[in-house]
Amino acid sequence: MLPAMPGAEAACYHQRMEVLSRQTYLDNAATTYPKPEAVYRAMDHFAREVGGSPGRSGHHRSLEAGREVLRARDAVARLFGIDDPSRIVFTKNATEALNLVIQGVLTSGGHAVITSLEHNSVWRPLEAMARAGTSSYSIVEGGPDGLLDPSLIEEALLPSTRLVVCTHASNVTGSLLPICDIAELCARRGIPLLVDAAQTAGRYVLDPVGTGIQYLAFTGHKELFGPQGTGGLYVAPGWEVEPLLYGGTGSRSESSLQPDFLPDRCESGTLNAMGLAGLRAGVGFVTATGVDEIRRHEGELFERLSSGLLSLRGVTMYGPPDWESRVGLVLFNIKGLTSSEVASRLDAAYGICVRSGLHCSPLAHRTIGTLENGAVRASFSYQNTGEDVDCLLDALSDICRSR
Ligand SMILES: Cc1ncc(COP(=O)(O)O)c(C=O)c1O
């Protein structure tokens, strides 16, 4: 029942409800919404019917919870072409996975090389460690289109370099970075490469083994369609990672020492088993749909949006123009309006969700010259349609006209 409202207020309320019911969600680079139905069902099933703590007690609910976690690990390993699922460590997000490697590899000092397209989840831990005097790092500059010349990474390597970190795709420009070339040059120098696959896992074929990547960080809540609070790290055989957290793992409980095997070494504390049940269903959706099909669909949406934006006066788009060099997000600004004004108007008047500002990646905005105002980002998932793109284009056309 609605509370009694005066006429004008009720009209306003109904108008707002109508906007919300036509909502167009284009903020999938932050987190995907909606999730496939199977994801909601898997979490509901876990919460109501399973409920035990994974890998802890011996009763049937705990055993089934443990099996859910194993199934999630298997599903992620299969998607990434990894034979041994125990090389996948579950974390609560990509940030934790990136910190695990950055802090673990550089605990005893050394130098790291990163790119100017990195997210704060890479830049901030390195900056904190540099300020504490533990380690140092260099930033290799990308171009104004967000692309990167891999030879610049080679030039930045020092005898003390212990780690190279590179995002697979920028969450700001959408540009794909040359991780195959970077993996090759790192291999020649025996330096491990940490790839941040937050924006590519689930929407771009990942082959960490074939590419020769030592560490691959991913998040569960973006294009893998899992819930927030899920993510993980692939650690290549022969490479170690020091834990960020020490504690109960349900294994070797008699010892005061952290287990020396993966994934237990880096999975202290009760896992988010309900979230991982959802992640498994999300990965199942990706696998059943096919990453190639997801990429094809997002490519169509990108072409539709970018050609529409080009026809609007006063719109500037950023990032590489060709689909082959990028993933499904589009960054733009409208002359005379701040990015937050555009995003607020899209939300309030048209029910369209996008993200404005700096997207937790000030380095990337500095690289493309948008650090002061930020920019508006519209980002797709497989769940979006051409109609969503047309809604955004119609709304932007209105906004451009009424500037
Ligand atoms: C490129 C990139 N790296 C890392 C992250 C951090 O992901 P999470 O919030 O899951 O830790 C994001 C999230 O937006 C991202 O886009």
How far away, in angstroms, is 199 Cα from ligand 1 center? Answer: 7
Q: Quick one: what percent of the chain has pLDDT higher than 70?
A: 95
**Which atom, in ligand 1's list, is nearest to the CA of 219?**
10
CA distance 144 to 148: 9
pLDDT at position 318 over 70: yes
pLDDT at position 17 over 60: no
This prediction has a pTM of 0.94
DSSP category for residue 25: E
CB within 8 Å of 403: residues ≥ 6 apart: 314, 334, 335, 336, 337
pLDDT on residue 119: 98
Radius of gyration for the alpha carbons in the chain, expressed in angstroms and rounded? 22
Q: What is the mean pLDDT of the chain?
A: 95
Nearest alpha carbon, ligand 1 atom 7:
94
How far away, in angstroms, is 16 Cα from ligand 1 center? Answer: 31
Mean pLDDT (whole number) for 273-281: 98
DSSP per-residue string spanning 259-315: PSSTTGGG--S---HHHHHHHHHHHHHHHHH-HHHHHHHHHHHHHHHHHHHHTSTTE
- Residue-wise pLDDT for 211-223, tens only, equals 999 999 999 999 9
- Residue-wise pLDDT for 61-77, tens only, equals 999 999 999 999 999 99
Q: Of 3.40.50.20, 3.30.70.100, 3.40.640.10, 3.20.20.70, which CATH number belongs to 39-288?
A: 3.40.640.10
Pocket test for ligand 1, best of 95, 195, 200 (most atoms within 8 A of CB): 95
* Residues 14, 20 contacting (CB under 8 angstroms): no
Nearest alpha carbon, ligand 1 atom 15:
198
Going from N- to C-terminal start, the domains of the chain cover 22-35+290-401, 39-288
pLDDT on residue 382: 98
Given CATH 3.90.1520.10, say whether it is the number of domain 22-35+290-401. no
* Residues 46, 273 contacting (CB under 8 angstroms): yes
Range with lowest mean pLDDT among 26-40, 147-161, 250-264, 317-331: 250-264
Q: Residue 56 class from Cβ within 10 Å (0-12 exposed, 13-18 middle, 19+ buried)? A: middle
How far away, in angstroms, is 37 Cα from ligand 1 center? Answer: 24
- Residue-wise pLDDT for 122-135, tens only, equals 999 999 999 999 99
How far away, in angstroms, is 80 Cα from ligand 1 center? Answer: 18
pLDDT at position 2 over 90: no
DSSP per-residue string spanning 188-209: HHT--EEEE-TTTTTTS---HH
Tell me which residue of 137, 145, 141 sits closest to 112, measured CA to CA.
137
Range 20-24, long-range pairs (CB < 8 A, 24+ positions): 20/351, 21/351, 22/351, 22/391, 23/351, 23/352, 23/353, 24/350, 24/351, 24/352, 24/353, 24/388, 24/391, 24/392
**Which atom, in ligand 1's list, is nearest to the CA of 220?**
10
- Residue-wise pLDDT for 68-111, tens only, equals 999 999 999 999 999 999 999 999 999 999 999 999 999 999 99
CA distance 192 to 105: 9
Pocket test for ligand 1, best of 92, 101, 121, 168 (most atoms within 8 A of CB): 121
How far away, in angstroms, is 94 Cα from ligand 1 center? Answer: 6
Alpha carbon distances (Å) from 390 to 144, 222, 299, 362, 386: 28, 23, 15, 30, 6
Enumerate residues lining ligand 1, CB below 6 A.
30, 93-95, 119, 121, 167, 171, 196, 198-199, 219, 231
* Residues 86, 72 contacting (CB under 8 angstroms): no
Which of helix, strand or coil describes residue 223?
Answer: coil
How far away, in angstroms, is 121 Cα from ligand 1 center? Answer: 7
**Which atom, in ligand 1's list, is nearest to the CA of 171?**
16
pLDDT at position 33 over 50: yes
Side-chain-side CA neighbours of residue 141 (13 Å): 6
How far away, in angstroms, is 178 Cα from ligand 1 center? Answer: 19
pLDDT band at 56 (very low <50, low <70, confident <90, very high): confident
- Max CA pair span of the chain: 73
Pocket test for ligand 1, best of 224, 360, 361, 381 (most atoms within 8 A of CB): 360
How far away, in angstroms, is 222 Cα from ligand 1 center? Answer: 9
pLDDT on residue 282: 98
Task: Name the percent of the chain in helix, strand, coil, to the closest 5.
Answer: 45, 15, 40
How far away, in angstroms, is 359 Cα from ligand 1 center? Answer: 9
Pocket test for ligand 1, best of 28, 199, 363 (most atoms within 8 A of CB): 199
Side-chain-side CA neighbours of residue 87 (13 Å): 21
**Which atom, in ligand 1's list, is nearest to the CA of 222?**
10
**Which atom, in ligand 1's list, is nearest to the CA of 31?**
14
Q: Which residues partner with 58 through β-bridges? A: none
pLDDT on residue 55: 86
* Residues 194, 217 contacting (CB under 8 angstroms): yes
- Residue-wise pLDDT for 224-266, tens only, equals 999 999 999 999 999 999 999 999 898 998 999 999 999 999 9
Give the tokens for residue 128: 């904190």
Q: Quick one: what percent of the chain has pLDDT higher than 90?
A: 91
Do the strands 136-140 and 111-115 form a parallel or antiparallel pair, or are they unpaired? parallel
CB within 8 Å of 112: residues ≥ 6 apart: 102, 105, 106, 126, 135, 136, 137, 138, 161, 162, 163, 164, 165
pLDDT on residue 6: 65
pLDDT on residue 1: 45
pLDDT on residue 28: 98
- Residue-wise pLDDT for 41-51, tens only, equals 999 999 999 99
pLDDT on residue 57: 87
Phi and psi for 76 in degrees, rounded to 5? Answer: -65, -45
